[in-house]
Amino acid sequence: AKVDTVVVDKTGTLTNGRPELTDVLAFDGWSQDEVLALAARAETASEHPLAEAIIRGAEDRGLAVPLIDAAEPVTGHGIRARIDGQDVTVGTAALLREQPDPAPVLELNELGRTAMWVGVNGQAVGIVAVADTVRADAAAAIAALHRRGVRVVMATGDASRVAHNVAAQLGVDEVRAELMPEDKLDIVRELQDAGRVVAMVGDGVNDTPALARADIGVAMGAAGSPAAIETADIALMADRLPRLPYALGLARRTVRTMRINIAIALVTVAVLLAGVLAGGVTMSIGMLVHEASVLLVIAIAMLLLRPTLREDQPTLRVTSREGVRV
């Protein structure tokens, strides 16, 4: 209820999490199909949405994408695999021995696409690029958070230009891009040290440390990984981002209702006690007033049920680490 800052993961939370292959560039005598086939085979060992986009793109072109025996995810950079006796990498330029000209990647990033270098034995042989689409309801959800006085920070491992492109579409207050998984945890700590009450929203395994550290962890239940759902305090059980401001609003209404009901109960008891001591309240009047106050408290509490009767309202699951924390 006291949350004033929301840190949101981009892929799968603000975006649909189903990117599509948009570009394949090939260098040094390699064909586009060869570059794409290598990238797709390497990505068969990854569960990241970007990997799925590359594999789907290769299959759509009729390329064979057999599974590989050995692959090693490189946290925050991409993946390294052994294919047909060659070391194949897909990800950032940090995976390559020689740093290539960044111009093609920067150009693709300017278009809002996520570009990845494809390397063979440390040499860049091409680039694959994918683009994700923003959720149709993301802008409305962020606007609803702003109306509640909540600051929205987007945290992503994507390139800065891609992240700012998405943020500009949605009205995000602050962008933190090109992050390693542990950086999200550091951002949550930094905001908390600044006196902020932080909610972290994510759906992937990489988000679990930040979800655990945040004052409130929120997992996108429909698309979220089991680890993220287990770690979070609240799981939004359908893939609809507007449920986040709804949950925040429900929490604030609940706290406000509790305070009102406590005030009614205390005032009623104080008035009755004073009346009894003054001799002006009989037992029958006292019982009548007390029971009336109980009915009033119940009626006010039942007002919280009204939004949940509407079909467009969410189903929430509270999975708190320390009891119910809303």
Which residues are catalytic, by number? Answer: 9
Longest dimension (CA), the chain: 101
Report, in angstroms and rounded to the nearest whole number, the Rg of the chain calculated over CA atoms.
Answer: 26
Task: Enter the DSSP assignment of 43.
Answer: H
End-to-end CA distance of the chain: 6
Q: Which of 47, 53, 41 lies closest to 86, judged by CA?
A: 41
Question: CA angle 198-200-201, nearest 5°?
Answer: 145
DSSP 18-30: --EEEEEEE-TT-
C-alpha–C-alpha distance, residues 33 and 21, integer Å: 13
Provide the total of helices (H) and of strands (E) in the chain, helices listed first. 10, 13
DSSP 128-164: EEEE--B-TTHHHHHHHHHHTT-EEEEE-SS-HHHHH
Strands ordered across the beta sheet of 174-176: 174-176, 151-155, 5-9, 198-202, 216-220, 234-236, 316-318
Q: Which long-range contacts (CB under 8 A, 24 or more apart) does 183-189 make?
A: 183/155, 184/7, 184/9, 184/155, 184/209, 184/210, 185/209, 185/210, 185/213, 187/7, 187/153, 187/155, 188/7, 188/213, 188/214, 189/213
SS3 173: coil
Which residue type occupies 262? I
C-alpha–C-alpha distance, residues 165 and 170, integer Å: 9
